[in-house]
Structure 1
Amino acid sequence: MANEDADRRWSPYDSPAGWVRGLAIAAAVGLFLAFSGAFGTGEAPAARRYPYWVGLLLIGALWGPFVSRLFFRPGEPRKGVWLRVIAVALVLAATLTGVVALATAVVLGERMPLARLPWLFSAVAAISGAMTALNVLISGPRAQDAAPAPAPPKFLERLPLKLRGAEVWAVEAEDHYLRLHTSKGQDLILLRLSDAVDELQGLEGAQVHRSWWVARDAIVDARRNDGRATLTLKDGSEVPVSRTYARELREKGWI
């Protein structure tokens, strides 16, 4: 059940508020189409024209959520959304054209010849597409369907007050302390380098020496001499790369 619920398809109506909004939009559009006498219905008496349009739009609003679930998933990117809107419109037209033809005959007293069914299909598809697009634009994917933002690395909470908000360029072990190299300068904190490396998970960086952790963006130059590599950081610090970590850094393209 948990996996089934996680894979539940999203639609613009996929909440009680969405259903109410969809019905309200349908009723408003139905009133407008009745008032304007759309698609040649202006000759019909208002007492029939208004129930005809509002009723059909409400039927579409009740059926639309089930069709839209076929084409929209939670957290899907916006890419291709209009192709899915078109697909929803075509399915709605295919399933509702007969209903519209019947309503036209019963409510308006106008029988629909078979030769006009393609025209009726295109009219239903156009209205269905416009209604679906309107609901998609208004609703969009729900906030809870979006992936939560990752928590910032725990190590950033250890930065001294004067370094808060700075970019961490490197962490250097000095006896029992760590020297922090940042965009706002340097400072010392009491911590083991191994613990710092664990808490720096989430930042793009790597341990390059038993005494150094370096952020990828902090490196401005990398050079080799006598089989050993040295990294130059933004603050001018030169960091040795030990052979223990050199292979991993070469695979990453750092050196």
Structure 2
Amino acid sequence: MRELQGNAIRASRTARPRQSYRRGVLVPTIAAFVMTLTGAFGTDSISLLPRLGYWLVVMGAGALIGILVTAGIRAWGVLSDRPWFEAAAVSLCIALPLTLVVLVGTALFFDRTTASAGYILTLFGMVLAVTSVITAINYTTARAAVPAPEPVAPAEPARPRLAERLPRHLRDAAIHAIEAEDHYLRVHTDLGSDLILMRMSDAIPELVPLEGARTHRSWWVARAAIQSIDRKDGRAELTLPRGVIAPVSRSALPDLRDAGWFEGF
């Protein structure tokens, strides 16, 4: 089972980068077709196929740079707990080299060989805007794709070792009390009782983690099993499920009272 769980965890960790890479390529590709069809940023001055080629080159370069930049910033890890700051850093780090790619692409596709400082700054602003939108889409879809953690089933309470000495049909039963009968112990449970050959002093350590106490020389009672308490003449009797009555000796009474056993009854 541990091996299967380990394999599943490793597969999940491997799948996450693959999904990120797919998003990093798919979103820019879709954006390239949208930019081509709309003739964004004045690119409608050239015909459809060259325009598509231009946007595929620009967006493809942006995707490659984006994958490398994102991997580097995530490996750095400083912004991992602030995803939107991380996204802003990714956008800025992509936009800087991508602006150079756009300058070269513009020179090749639009025959623009000169560029002033103002033009470069304007171009950088447009590249940063487009990059920020695409990065925001990638981060939003990535966060939405993270599966919610599966609810962890509460751990079953540990079964006392004494239960292993009972017949099979009583091993999962709740132990209510132990009563000494000569050389035997009668174990009272919510499913019935049975005798085992054992001393009381040896049986009590095997009742961990049950909360209980020795109420009488010949009785041990689980605190959770008490239904009612009848006190008279300095003694007490505990009523347990299935009509079992457990005595409380005078010597045990003060300790049980101090432990709060009689509160609420």
TM above 0.5: yes
TM interval, shorter chain, is 0.5 to 0.7
Counterpart position of 1:67:
77
Q: 2:177 is matched with which residue: 150, 156, 170?
A: 170
For 2:196 and 2:263, the matched residues in 1 are separated by 31
Cα offset for 1:178?
0.9
Tell me which amino acid in the other structure corresponds to 2:260: R
For 2:141 and 2:218, the matched residues in 1 are separated by 63
For 2:131 and 2:30, the matched residues in 1 are separated by 18
For 1:24 and 1:188, the matched residues in 2 are separated by 62
Counterpart position of 1:79:
none
Tell me which amino acid in the other structure corresponds to 1:131: A
Alpha carbons of structure 1 residues 206 and 108: separation in structure 2 relative to 1, 3 Å: farther
Q: 2:31 is matched with which residue: 32, 37, 40?
A: 37
User: Is 1:212 aligned to 2:219, yes or no?
Assistant: yes
Counterpart position of 1:8:
none
Contact 2:177 2:188 in 1 (8 A): yes
Tell me which amino acid in the other structure corresponds to 1:218: A
Cα offset for 1:133?
5.3
User: Is 1:134 aligned to 2:128, yes or no?
Assistant: no
For 1:234 and 1:147, the matched residues in 2 are separated by 26
Alpha carbons of structure 1 residues 223 and 147: separation in structure 2 relative to 1, 3 Å: closer
User: Is 1:196 aligned to 2:203, yes or no?
Assistant: yes
Q: How does 1:48-197 map to 2 (within 5 A)?
A: 48-53=58-63, 55-57=65-67, 59-61=69-71, 63-64=73-74, 67=77, 87-109=81-103, 111-113=123-125, 124=135, 127-128=138-139, 130-132=141-143, 134-135=145-146, 137=147, 140=149, 151-197=158-204
Tell me which amino acid in the other structure corresponds to 2:96: L
Tell me which amino acid in the other structure corresponds to 2:83: A
Alpha carbons of structure 1 residues 148 and 88: separation in structure 2 relative to 1, 3 Å: farther
Counterpart position of 1:234:
241
For 2:261 and 2:87, the matched residues in 1 are separated by 55
SS class of match (1:37): helix
Deviations 1:165-220 (A, max 9, x none): 22212111222211011122111001122222211112343333332222233222
Counterpart position of 1:12:
none
The unaligned stretches of length 5 or more in structure 2 are 1-8, 41-53, 104-121
Q: Which has the larger radius of gyration?
A: 2
Alpha carbons of structure 1 residues 159 and 148: separation in structure 2 relative to 1, 3 Å: same
For 2:134 and 2:263, the matched residues in 1 are separated by 58
For 2:191 and 2:183, the matched residues in 1 are separated by 23
Alpha carbons of structure 1 residues 98 and 246: separation in structure 2 relative to 1, 3 Å: same
Contact 2:187 2:194 in 1 (8 A): yes
SS class of match (1:166): coil
Q: How does 1:6-25 map to 2 (within 5 A)?
A: 17-25=11-19
Identity of aligned residues (%): 33
TM-score by length of 1: 0.66
For 1:121 and 1:55, the matched residues in 2 are separated by 14
For 2:168 and 2:238, the matched residues in 1 are separated by 28
User: Is 1:46 aligned to 2:39, yes or no?
Assistant: no
Q: Give the RMSD, CA atoms, in angstroms.
A: 3.9
Contact 2:176 2:222 in 1 (8 A): yes
For 1:127 and 1:233, the matched residues in 2 are separated by 63
Contact 1:23 1:58 in 2 (8 A): no
Deviations 1:207-238 (A, max 9, x none): 33332222233222123333433211111111
Deviations 1:65-87 (A, max 9, x none): 6538x87xxxxxxxxxxxxxxx4
SS class of match (1:29): helix
Could you say which structure has the higher helix fraction? 2
Tell me which amino acid in the other structure corresponds to 2:142: M
Alpha carbons of structure 1 residues 55 and 120: separation in structure 2 relative to 1, 3 Å: closer
Question: How many residues are treated as equivalent by the alignment?
Answer: 218
SS class of match (1:165): coil
